[in-house]
Structures are given as C-alpha cells and as structure tokens.
Amino acid sequence: MWPYVVAALAALFLLRRWYRERQTVPGLPEKFVLITGCDSGFGNLLARQLDARGVRVLAACLTEQGAEQLRAAASPRLQTLLLDVTSSPSVAAAAAWVKEQVGDRGLWGLVNNAGITTPTAPNEWLSKDDFLKVINVNLIGLIEVTRSVLPLLRRARGRVVNMSSMFGRISFIGGGYCISKFGVEAFSDSLRLEMRNFGVKVSVIEPGWFQTNITNEENIKKHFLDTWEKLPEEIKADYGEKYLKHFLEAFRNMKNLCSPNLSLVTDCMEHALTSRYPRTRYAAGWDAKLLYIPLSYVPSALSDRMLAKHQPLPAHKA
C-alpha cells in the first residue's frame, strides 16, 4: 500500500513541477534585459536567443568588433553598448545609459555573464596580480554591475542571473577562477535574501565543461607556459618537468571534455529570465549534474582522494 502512495505523491510532485516550470511571465516584448560579456560564447548566444523571442536585449560587449558582429546577427531591436566590468567609470556610464533606455519601466533582467579563466596554475606559481586579474572580472565586476542597476531591477521586480560554475562548489585548480566563483555563489545567496521582499529573484547558473573562448586550449596553455617561465629555478626544480607536462597534456585533452552545445547553458539562463517560477540554481551539463554537483556533497576526505588521482607528482615523488 505505502509504496503506491509514495509513488503517487512523487508523480504528483513531478507533475506540479513540470507545470510550474512551463509558466512564463507575460509581456516579454516590453521587457529589457542587460547581458554582459556578449562578444562571444554564452552571452552572445543568449542575446540572439532572447532577441528571437522579442525581448528588448541590451548587450554589453568588451570590444566594438564584438558589438558589430552581434548587431549584424540580430534584429534592429537589439542594442549594444561597450562595457569593461573592471572599470568603475565604464560601469557607471553603462548604468546611466541603461537607465535612459528603460525609463520608468525599469530593468527586467540582468545577466552577469562576463568572465575569464586565466591565469590558471598551481597557487604557488601565481602572483597577487594574477589572482586579482580574474577576481576583478568574475566577482568584483559582477558585484559592481549589479549594484549599479539594482534600483532599476527593483522598479521592475525583475531578475538577476549570475554565471557561476561547477568550480563554485568544488575547487581543484589554482588561481582566481574557483575563488571568484565561490564568491559569486555567496554574493548571489545574500542578494537573493535581501531582494526577496522587493520581488527581485536571483538565480545562479552552474555549468560543467563547455567549449567557449575561456576554455580555449591554446589560450590556457599560453598563459600556463608564461607563468612557468617566470618561476624561480628552485621552484621549477621542486615541481619538475613531468609536472609541467602533465598539465600540458591535460590541456590537449580539454576539448574532449567540453560540450559544444552552449544552448544547454543559455536555455537555463532564458528560463531564469522568462519563467514565473525560476529556480535558485541551474546545473548545466551532464558532468555538472552527475559528477561535480554530487561530488560537492560528499565528505572532503573522499572527494580529495578522488581528485588527487588526477594531480601530478612533484619531482621528489615522480
């Protein structure tokens, strides 16, 4: 008897969730959404995806070339602006421009997508500036952009969508990337609670491995080799050439790990912006759902043992 009751309740729960998640907000053609990092990758695809649905997209690009290419691929409704999220004057100018565009309607959505991964290397190899370069884009820039348009988001009772990562839950690479993504998770949690009574919803996107410019093998390898070359000889000797070669081989295999289907991520972003009942967190990609997210919940002693198998041995143990 009880198994049937449990099965029926589970079925009802899943049916209710399925129904709720397919309810969309009305009036999408009147809503403005600001997206950062639209030169390429997720931001570029999301801008075109929302534009096709009639949303009033405000696409922030780092370069004029990126802005021109996006405008050529979208409808005249989509507007672009230049934005460097690490520059306070640039952020302030962008916020003023957005306020002028949206007027009394306010800003329905902000997608903090802009991000970088490099420099990435063992922590000892990196300088303070190497850490700050990544953190200033992925975390401090995200916070400053959000704060600059928060009054507009409150006016529209809108949405904030922050790009995190599976590395925002579990960290096994050095540098500022994982640190910044852990910070994005913390900032999103506090912002979600603060904005709850203002009607603003905050969602976090946690992708697995995907083929974008920030996971480009040649780009990561170049930064990694540059970092190695700057190391003192004694540190190079302690780590050894085999340690270096292990990472270079891993970079060559990265393309096999990364999914080319970027829409798995942008569909999550679109749902967070257009659903009546957006989720708090979206895990994008089977590797995130079946490996990294579960791994983040197991005891550290177990996850450390699993991840340590993929760490190279230093010179004295090789």
pLDDT tens digit string along 63-92?
Answer: 999 999 999 999 999 999 999 999 999 999
CA distance 288 to 303: 15
314, 240 contact by CB (below 8 A): yes
- Least confident range from 108-122, 188-202, 211-225, 267-281: namely 211-225
Q: Nearest to residue 203, comparing CAs of 141, 275, 309, 134?
A: 275
How high is the pLDDT of residue 255?
A: 72
Confidence class of residue 17 from pLDDT cuts 50, 70 and 90?
A: confident
User: Does 254 score more than 90 pLDDT?
Assistant: no
CA 60 to chain centre: 15
Query: Counting every residue, how long is the chain?
Result: 318
How high is the pLDDT of residue 215?
A: 67
Take residue 152 and report the two structure tokens written for it. Answer: 């507009």
The strands making up 79-82's β-sheet, listed across from edge to edge, are 79-82, 56-61, 32-35, 109-112, 159-163, 201-207, 281-284
Instruction: Identify the top-confidence range among 164-173, 213-222, 225-234, 265-274.
Output: 265-274
Exposure letters 88-124 (e unless 16+ CB within 10 A, then b): eebbeebbebbbebbeebbbbbbbbbbbbbbbbbbee
Report the pLDDT averaged over residues 235-244. 90
Cis peptide before 151 (omega within 30 of 0): no
User: Could you report the per-residue pLDDT of 28-57, keeping only the tens digit for each?
Assistant: 999 999 999 999 999 999 999 999 999 999
Q: Nearest to residue 108, comparing CAs of 274, 235, 266?
A: 274
User: Could you report the per-residue pLDDT of 160-210, keeping only the tens digit for each?
Assistant: 999 999 999 999 889 999 999 999 999 999 999 999 999 999 999 999 988
CA distance 95 to 90: 9
How high is the pLDDT of residue 214?
A: 72
Contacts of 173 (CB under 8 A, 6+ apart): 120, 167
Residue owning tokens 């916070």: 143
User: Does 317 score more than 70 pLDDT?
Assistant: no
How high is the pLDDT of residue 4?
A: 65
How high is the pLDDT of residue 92?
A: 98
Instruction: Identify the top-confidence range among 8-12, 22-26, 191-195, 214-218.
Output: 191-195
How high is the pLDDT of residue 146?
A: 98
Cβ atoms < 10 Å from Cβ of 45: 18
User: Could you report the per-residue pLDDT of 128-149, keeping only the tens digit for each?
Assistant: 999 999 999 999 999 999 999 9
66, 41 contact by CB (below 8 A): no
CATH of domain 2-308: 3.40.50.720
Active-site residue set: 177
75, 57 contact by CB (below 8 A): no
Report the pLDDT averaged over residues 290-294. 91
User: Does 102 score more than 80 pLDDT?
Assistant: yes
Query: Average model confidence (pLDDT) for the chain?
Result: 91
User: Does 246 score more than 70 pLDDT?
Assistant: yes
CA distance 289 to 153: 30
